[in-house]
Structure 1
């Protein structure tokens, strides 16, 4: 076991107490010993005396006093150490709560398969990127984000998502929520519309948001009453349908601003992914993407593709410092994209998630249907009216963590509600996925 010790420079001693130096040192040592693990070796009294600028005898006397009190031990050849506590630490009493059902199967939405993170390829990209990075990359930088990443994103988004942009129109951020915090209320003001189903956390970051009804063609954009609207057009979250191509054109032609959340647009399994709405009109659509679903939410990397007239305002809101994503991670992602590793990872995960979704559909087919297109990392199960709460409870008793559809319904929505489950299929390990689906089937009506 590695020995624990501190030197005199690293040992914080508060000698500001009134009285003699000896008394002040003894009090400071008592306080310090209370913070150190038993067995920690203290600095020799000679070096401590030199660092504190006091007499050696004063330190020796203070050590002897704490040895006599049983706080320290001193043995020839072993130095002076913190003694074992004679009085155990009093446990903190925590109010008792009813025991929660143990989570055995995690079927919550929005979580990519963490075990599939491409560690070897990411490490290779990090080595190349940090080796090639100029020294200025590690100093104060551009609030837009590293140019290497913005150039790589402009190329990738144009090729894979049909986004029309240049590097100068991209601002790197720390994810979708960070983008919303930069936009509201610093850049965009006034009310906006959101889809009747979505993430309540995102709504909490917005000014007053009016819910927009949904149907089988997506958001009913003809009913918009605000100039700004937030949409998930490639794969409506969480209900699972795409925005119909006629409505995509309609929402752009109306003349307002569309905020496009392309949270999992690369993961379409029944056909080629539908391109971004931004490609229809780059000056009327503000596109936001991130690495949270494609790679990992732990990276905290996202990007905004902005209309030209909003670039300066967003940069002013972001400021010159602090609100930056990690530069080494930006450089690594840039290399990861340009080397082709990102495309390979997306193709690999697309196959994996498609198999997962197919397993889910097959397992549930005798019981219930799966709604929405074959895409993304989650599916919605339509339940008989009035059964959602009881099924969520039954799932919890089966050790399943998931959400009912009602958790994602806007509180002011007027469209008819329906009961359902939002099931994420990306997280369970392969060896446990079959058991998770069996447990889910047992919870269904």
Structure 2
């Protein structure tokens, strides 16, 4: 019995039906084109190759091809083989009794819905300008890294990650962020959420029950800890940042000390020391999310909290803001007694792509990463300055805060106006988040009307339009 597939040229699934091989093959090919499974311009296997794969005579395939060329479904040209005709009338399947094509479903419908609902401008926080990704420099680094990589680098790797990247990260983080890093204590992860999930799993296995979190932050991070079996409790928050009061009852604490998200303030130096002292006294672990640590505009970057006590702080960083979230590369610099357990929780082999790790290692050691960050810092600072000036001139009732660092600002609004401003922005095609979205529902903080405006996301050509749409939505 003939196999219903072909392997040469392209993988081609065919199920000939009806009497006779020629008629059955012709019908199966015609239906594949009509349904859109074979797109216009697709090159088909040669008649010899398809006949060999289907176990039928070559003349049968050649005759089926000729029939479909005559009908206009295929084209045949000397030297370019047989292809699906550009004007082939592909039509979606119709349901009985319908006179119009059935609406798309599944992935196609989801893509169309996203296209219809995509905002004209996006000022949601959390993403860099993806259009500014350094493609040429990244490609050069990838070529150098792949050329220099030993063949075994492409095998199943150490769950901690490629040693080249861990060594490069140790040098960079020590120099640029004040992290006391040892390559043996670094675990490469597939994003910050992956690192946090691993730590939550390890903490729960150690008997931890509670993790203190900030009063404002991402609910997805709290959910990850909850999914690991850990309860989360919010800490007090004021003008000096998160207050460590209440930490005594927690087994760990999750903080964004360099630039608190979303409030935009660094953790006060007295609070930094107090958090570390309490962790030493109680045995708690500090999970440091170095959010926006590399993008500081008013002075030298605030050093990582981990530098105060590497034995009590797990430092978590990512390339998502400095390069792109699609790279799915993050890192955890861990206390000595924790590194092995986190690597074991990650699994027996590396789960992050070796080629991207090698490329990032080359990007770091060659200095390309520093150059990219410095150029990005200048571009984002100009955007921030333009935002501050525009709001001051066109929406004096709003007040911009949290501008010293990062890729977002907090825009204070008149009391009771947050929801109406967010709605007005949406009507103008502007995607925007209010502060209420990030408030821990159990936190004891006074409600504050504000917007969390991410100025990193729009590409350069859309920045002025996004700024105009923002100011138009703000109260005058």
TM-score range, shorter chain: 0.7 to 0.9
Q: Which of residues 377, 394, 417 in structure 2 aligns to 1:387?
A: 417
Cα distance, 1:250 vs structure 2: 1.3
- Is residue 285 from structure 1 mapped to residue 329 from structure 2 by the alignment? no
Paired residues for 1:62-81 under 5 Å = none
Q: Which of residues 238, 241, 250 in structure 1 aligns to 2:262?
A: 238
* Partner secondary structure for residue 343 of structure 1: helix
CA contact 2:10–2:45 (8 Å) conserved in 1: no
Gaps of 5+ in 2: 1-5, 95-100
Cα distance, 1:86 vs structure 2: 6.0
Q: Which of residues 258, 272, 275 in structure 1 aligns to 2:300?
A: 272
Residue aligning to 1:218: 241
Residue aligning to 2:288: 260
Cα distance, 1:405 vs structure 2: 0.5
- Is residue 310 from structure 1 mapped to residue 338 from structure 2 by the alignment? yes
| CA deviation map 1:212-235 (0-9, x unaligned) | 221111111112231211000111
CA contact 2:39–2:84 (8 Å) conserved in 1: yes
Residue aligning to 1:12: 12
Residue aligning to 1:3: none
CA contact 1:187–1:317 (8 Å) conserved in 2: no
- Is residue 177 from structure 1 mapped to residue 193 from structure 2 by the alignment? yes
- Is residue 415 from structure 1 mapped to residue 445 from structure 2 by the alignment? yes
CA contact 1:238–1:408 (8 Å) conserved in 2: yes
Residues of 2 paired with 1:336 and 1:403: CA distance?
33
Paired residues for 1:317-336 under 5 Å = 317-321=345-349, 323-324=351-352, 326-336=353-363
Residues of 2 paired with 1:133 and 1:40: CA distance?
36
| CA deviation map 1:166-202 (0-9, x unaligned) | 1100011111011122222244442211111111222
* Partner secondary structure for residue 469 of structure 2: helix
Cα distance, 1:386 vs structure 2: 0.8
Scaled by the length of structure 1, the TM-score of the pair is 0.87
Residue aligning to 2:209: 190
- Is residue 122 from structure 1 mapped to residue 132 from structure 2 by the alignment? no
Residue aligning to 1:344: 371
Give the number of the structure whose residues are more often helix, by fraction.
2
Residue aligning to 1:143: 159
Paired residues for 1:392-407 under 5 Å = 392-407=422-437
RMSD between superposed Cα atoms in Å: 3.2
Residue aligning to 1:228: 252
CA contact 2:123–2:430 (8 Å) conserved in 1: yes
Q: Which of residues 217, 222, 229 in structure 2 aligns to 1:203?
A: 222
* Partner secondary structure for residue 209 of structure 1: strand
Residue aligning to 2:98: none
Residue aligning to 2:102: 92
Paired residues for 1:430-441 under 5 Å = 430-441=460-471
CA contact 1:26–1:66 (8 Å) conserved in 2: yes
Residues of 1 paired with 2:454 and 2:286: CA distance?
27
- Is residue 133 from structure 1 mapped to residue 149 from structure 2 by the alignment? yes
Residue aligning to 1:37: 39
CA contact 2:7–2:53 (8 Å) conserved in 1: no
Residues of 2 paired with 1:46 and 1:102: CA distance?
48
Residue aligning to 2:184: 168
Residues of 2 paired with 1:186 and 1:71: CA distance?
63
Cα distance, 1:118 vs structure 2: 2.4
* Partner secondary structure for residue 230 of structure 1: strand
* Partner secondary structure for residue 171 of structure 1: strand
* Partner secondary structure for residue 205 of structure 1: helix
Q: Which of residues 168, 177, 184 in structure 2 aligns to 1:152?
A: 168
CA contact 1:260–1:286 (8 Å) conserved in 2: yes
Residues of 2 paired with 1:73 and 1:306: CA distance?
61
Gaps of 5+ in 1: 1-5
Query: CA 1:182–1:37 in structure 2 vs 1: closer, same or farther (change >3 Å)?
Result: same
* Partner secondary structure for residue 56 of structure 2: coil
- Is residue 247 from structure 1 mapped to residue 277 from structure 2 by the alignment? no
CA contact 1:13–1:28 (8 Å) conserved in 2: no
* More displaced 10-residue stretch of structure 1: 236-245 or 330-339: 330-339
Scaled by the length of structure 2, the TM-score of the pair is 0.82
Cα distance, 1:105 vs structure 2: 2.6
